[in-house]
Amino acid sequence: MSETTDRFVIEVGSGTVAHIIDTEASKSEAENQPLLGPSAPGEKMCSRGYRHHTDQRVSFAEFSTAHDIDKTGFEGDAPDEICSYCWSNTREALEKEQADDDVSEKIGTVGYRLRWKQKGRARDEWYDIVVRPETTVAELDRLVCRFTTLDDFHLRMYGLEDEYIDSSLKVIPDRQYEQAGDRSYTKASEMTIADVAERAGLWEGDRLSLVYDFGTPSHYYCIVKEVYEPAEIDELLEDSDVISSTDTAAIIKEKRP
């Protein structure tokens, strides 16, 4: 908490309340800026009031002691002496950063429910594939081919978001890898969902892509619909009518025309 309150300082001016300044904002521009005033380094945590060169900055701890504020951080309601808009925005910013940190720590250790669709048929047909962190793209590919009836006559490749033929992953099925003779590609059996997740920061709402036939391409994609702890996947599979599966992944739901 001391690191947080050191980061946010209190700026006292002529107004009825003091404002909160995030001193980490605009750090790259702070070197040649004055320490106070409207162009001082850092970002005011609300858009109300004005900043002046005579404003004074003090630490949160110093301000709290001077005004007998019984708080060690930005919890609860704002003290009367501090702008309530600044206080609320600071709390929201810290909560978002904590949530982002929590997500970052879990990426690579969780599984996903991937809803796969073909572009142009997204409303008519889709398939939910549950994958574990250790699921390889080769296993995922077997299940995708199960419902798409894709074959090895044309190259198919997995990527991030809407990359398709411009895939940064360049993951292709093992058999096609051997036939292609191009070592810039990656074997599907040598990349796991955890690897993909760590590359992409994969989380709920994110997408993966699949292109089939580089000459006259067909485009498929998936949306991450749910994120699961490994134990939750076991429970999910026990309670689902599995349509098709591999050792670590399964199609659990579908919509077909």
- 100 assigned to some structural domain: no
User: In terms of domains, do 118 and 196 share one?
Assistant: yes
pLDDT tens for 6-59 read 789 999 988 899 999 998 875 444 444 444 444 457 889 999 888 888 889 999
Contact 131, 226 (CB under 8 A): no
Nearest to 4 by CA among 59, 63, 64: 59
Identify the band that residue 181 occupies on the pLDDT scale cut at 50, 70 and 90: confident
Higher pLDDT, 49 or 170: 170
- 249 assigned to some structural domain: yes
User: Average of pLDDT values for 202-226?
Assistant: 96
| Phi, psi dihedrals of residue 71, rounded to the nearest 5° | -145, 140
- 7 assigned to some structural domain: yes
The predicted pLDDT at position 228 comes to 96
User: In terms of domains, do 219 and 137 share one?
Assistant: yes
The predicted pLDDT at position 154 comes to 92
Task: Look at the pTM and tell me if it is higher than 0.85.
Answer: no
CATH number at residue 211: 3.10.290
User: In terms of domains, do 160 and 209 share one?
Assistant: yes
- 77 assigned to some structural domain: yes
User: In terms of domains, do 129 and 242 share one?
Assistant: yes
Identify the band that residue 4 occupies on the pLDDT scale cut at 50, 70 and 90: low
The predicted pLDDT at position 149 comes to 80
Q: Which residue segment(s) compose the domain that 18 sits in?
A: 2-94
User: In terms of domains, do 69 and 173 share one?
Assistant: no
